[in-house]
Amino acid sequence: MVTAIQPRLAPAAPASSLAAGSAARESAAPAIADAQRPVVMPPPKAEIQFDSEKMRANLEEAINRINEMMRDGGRGLNFSMDNKLGRPIVLVRNLESGEVIRQIPNEVVVKVAHSIEDLKGMLHNESV
């Protein structure tokens, strides 16, 4: 046997008392909310000072130190900076023959990146 479930409802209040109560709440609510609301100030803008020449000099100095450490340690690693791309290149060499065993990024990737850099001037005129 199945019985239907019906929600219990509170007895309805007269419309006049509902209107009076809601009007009083509406007038008091904004005043209370405004008094309790904290004042929010936007954060001050950060002043970022960036010197690209100084950063490049620091990077070149760090690369030179790493290369010295690799040579002194008898390792065939060589770090360099590709000026056209502005990215570091890592070479792994055989110490006996001087042959490049591996290059990171790959030589083909570097050539493609150089070609793209060369095409930038043709595709987009930077002076306009």
DSSP states of 60-122 = HHHHHHHHHHHHHTT--EEEEEETTTTEEEEEEE-TTT--EEEEES-HHHHHHHHHHHHHHHH
Number of domains in the chain: 1
Return the structure tokens found at 81: 């900076």
Domain span including residue 86: 53-123
The pLDDT value given to residue 70? 86
Please tell me what DSSP assigns to residue 74: T
Per residue in 66-125, pLDDT (tens digit) is: 889 888 888 888 888 888 888 888 888 888 888 888 988 888 998 998 888 888 777 666
Per residue in 17-39, pLDDT (tens digit) is: 545 555 555 555 555 556 677 88
Q: Is 13 left (phi over 0), alpha (psi -120 to 50) or beta?
A: beta
Residue 15 has pLDDT above 70, yes or no: no
Residue 13: pLDDT band by 50, 70, 90 thresholds?
low
Residue 61: pLDDT band by 50, 70, 90 thresholds?
very high
Question: Is 83 among the domain residues?
Answer: yes
Question: Is 1 among the domain residues?
Answer: no
**Which position has the token pair 């100084």?**
54
